[in-house]
Amino acid sequence: MELRHLRYFVAVAEERHFGRAAARLHMAQPPLSQQIRQLEDELGLRLLQRTTRRVELTAAGETYLVRAQEILTAVAAATDEAQRVAAGSQGRLVIGCVGSATYSLLPPLVRQLREDLPGVEVAVQGEMLAPAQVAALQAGQIDLGLLRRPVDEAGLLVQTVRSERLIVAVPEGHRLAARKRLRLQDLAAEDFVMHAGSGRSVMHGTVLELCRVAGFEPRIRHEVAETSTLVTFVAAGLGVAVVPASVAELQVPGAAYRPLTGKLTVELAVATRADDDAPPLQRALEVLLRRIRREQGSTAAVRGSRPAGDRR
């Protein structure tokens, strides 16, 4: 017995006529009649009662029709599902994300993924420091990481998606909050709240090096793993923090943000396993890069629309 036998039988049973069933199946009537007889012979029972004008189902045929329709429906569903998975429109995707991007890039990205790929289940692990994301990628716990460079581990593909300016988070009411713009040297006498050190955070090493280049050793009073905690500590008056500009999306009462002079930036990158060619991942990367290009285009348009002499 083959699936075609079931399709032939269902067509005859639904049409109640060999001629109409043959036309529906785009085949001649004699071969169709022969295939139905072969099916009945294999089953050892009659499924159809044939008359000169009409075909009727036997009691066994009625029962067999229900099961045959269920089987063909299941096969069609399996084919459709496999095609959606192969096209990247169905599956599961786990995204890891550093704190700053958790509050800026991640929300619109996930919304776009759900809109463009409704059949893909998207899970998010936010507030993951870069080294933790690298380890999770290598262990297969996440499929895509949004993290800070540098990332040099073998077996990972890393692509920079945008460069962000650094800003300062200060407590509201702090003397530095009265300034419109700050220099890094202005922070030399301040207590710092920083992301975790000892190789656990790229931002820790970046800020430390920038302060040293500016001529001072930052006085680190608190180290935290999560960006939300970092900003909360600043709002509580426990210190200042140098953070990517996207952190300003996280509005915590008591914290104020001020731009830094100079071109002090950090890079946000997307990382995946080099051997991971899963279609949902590739579709997600397309959505991400398309969104980044649109975001950069909007920024360029805003800059281009400034009046002459505006050099902010």
Q: Each residue of 174-188: pLDDT tens digit?
A: 999 999 999 999 999
pLDDT band at 116 (very low <50, low <70, confident <90, very high): confident
In which region does residue 94 sit, left (phi positive, over 0), alpha (psi from -120 to 50) or beta (all else)? beta
**pLDDT beyond 80 at 89:** no
**pLDDT beyond 50 at 307:** no
pTM of the full structure: 0.63
pLDDT band at 100 (very low <50, low <70, confident <90, very high): confident
| CATH code for residues 91-297 | 3.40.190.290
**166 vs 158: CA distance, rounded Å:** 21
Nearest alpha-carbon partner for 68 in 133, 16, 14, 139: 14
Residues 6+ apart with CB under 8 A from 192: 207, 218, 219, 220, 221, 222, 239, 240, 241, 242
pLDDT of residue 302: 32
pLDDT band at 11 (very low <50, low <70, confident <90, very high): very high
pLDDT in tens, 176-234: 999 999 999 999 999 999 998 776 788 999 999 999 999 999 999 999 988 999 999 99
List the structure tokens of 32: 């169709």
> Where are the CATH 1.10.10.10 domain residues in the chain?
3-86
- Helices 59-87 & 3-15, crossing angle to 10 degrees? 120
pLDDT of residue 296: 66
pLDDT of residue 308: 36
Q: What percent of the chain has pLDDT over 90?
A: 54
Nearest alpha-carbon partner for 268 in 203, 205, 207: 203
133-148 average pLDDT score: 93
Q: Which ranges of the chain would DSSP assign to H, the alpha helix?
A: 3-15, 18-25, 29-43, 59-87, 99-103, 106-116, 130-138, 202-213, 227-235, 279-304
14-26 average pLDDT score: 91
Residues 6+ apart with CB under 8 A from 203: 148, 194, 195, 243, 244, 266
97 touches 146 (CB < 8 A): yes
> Where are the CATH 3.40.190.290 domain residues in the chain?
91-297
Fold designation for 3-86: Arc Repressor Mutant, subunit A (1.10.10)
**pLDDT beyond 80 at 136:** yes
